[in-house]
Amino acid sequence: MTAGETLEELLQELRACRICRDTPRYLPPLPHQPRPVIQASVTARLCIAGQAPGTRVHASGRPFTDPSGVRLRRWLGIGETVFYDPARVAVVPMGFCFPGQDAKGGDLPPRRECAQTWHERVFAAMPRIELVLAIGRYAQDWHLGDRKGRGLTATVSEWRELLARPTYPRVLPLPHPSWRNNAWLRQNPWFEAELVPVLRQEVARLVA
């Protein structure tokens, strides 16, 4: 965030971003028109940091308007009214635009340009954020830099240690709520048995 810049001014600039389409730094241009998706406010105390919009979110322009969002809200213990209230919940993915799909139909990784261009400014403009939910490897690598390369299971399994760190904001790692992680959830029942109840307590406190 630059001197004298308001969050609304920053969001207006971000939502008009065309870097990946017009002046990409790392990969070929975005294969479609950009549609940055972000939810933010100066009052939000909880931030959900995910990967990047998928096809449904790209179409809707709202974060997590897909089955992953249904599961995520169940984990959080909140409904759509609270989830989509920017005054209480911020949603700042690692990539703001749908990155396209690979040859197998899977979503490509978030564009690297997004975090490099916007993330420090966005988080500087949200000083009340107390907890960041880092969903998936890309968000965890950025928000937990010292855990980069450790892998999802190793990182999420250390959630108690990470949540207890004397940092601000605190960071809690989560797996992505996609159906692609169903096998992981079955293999790691401690996640829903132990982590999710603590997650719901934290969320209830922050969105009250």
The pLDDT tens digits of the residues spanning 10-38 come to: 999 999 999 999 999 988 999 999 999 99
pLDDT recorded at residue 101: 85
Per-residue pLDDT of 146-200, as tens digits, reads 777 788 999 999 999 999 999 899 999 999 999 989 999 999 999 999 999 999 9
Q: Crossing angle of helices 196-207/67-76, nearest 10°?
A: 80
Confidence of residue 105 (pLDDT cuts 50, 70, 90): confident
7-207 maps to which CATH number?
A: 3.40.470.10
Per-residue pLDDT of 124-140, as tens digits, reads 999 999 999 999 999 99
Computed on alpha carbons and rounded to an integer, the radius of gyration of the chain in Å comes to 16
pLDDT recorded at residue 21: 95
The residue with greater pLDDT, 184 or 145, is 184
pLDDT recorded at residue 150: 80
Determine what percent of the chain is predicted with pLDDT higher than 90. Answer: 85
How far is Cα 175 from Cα 183, in angstroms, rounded to an integer? 12
Q: Structural domain boundaries of the chain?
A: 7-207
| pLDDT greater than 60 at residue 121 | yes
Confidence of residue 104 (pLDDT cuts 50, 70, 90): confident
pLDDT recorded at residue 107: 84
Mean pLDDT of the chain: 94
How far is Cα 135 from Cα 46, in angstroms, rounded to an integer? 13
| pLDDT greater than 60 at residue 65 | yes
How far is Cα 208 from Cα 196, in angstroms, rounded to an integer? 18
| pLDDT greater than 70 at residue 1 | no
| pLDDT greater than 60 at residue 67 | yes
Query: Largest alpha-carbon pair distance within the chain?
Result: 49
Pairing relationship of beta strands 131-135 and 46-49 according to DSSP bridges: parallel
| pLDDT greater than 70 at residue 2 | no
Confidence of residue 3 (pLDDT cuts 50, 70, 90): low
Confidence of residue 4 (pLDDT cuts 50, 70, 90): low
How far is Cα 140 from Cα 137, in angstroms, rounded to an integer? 5
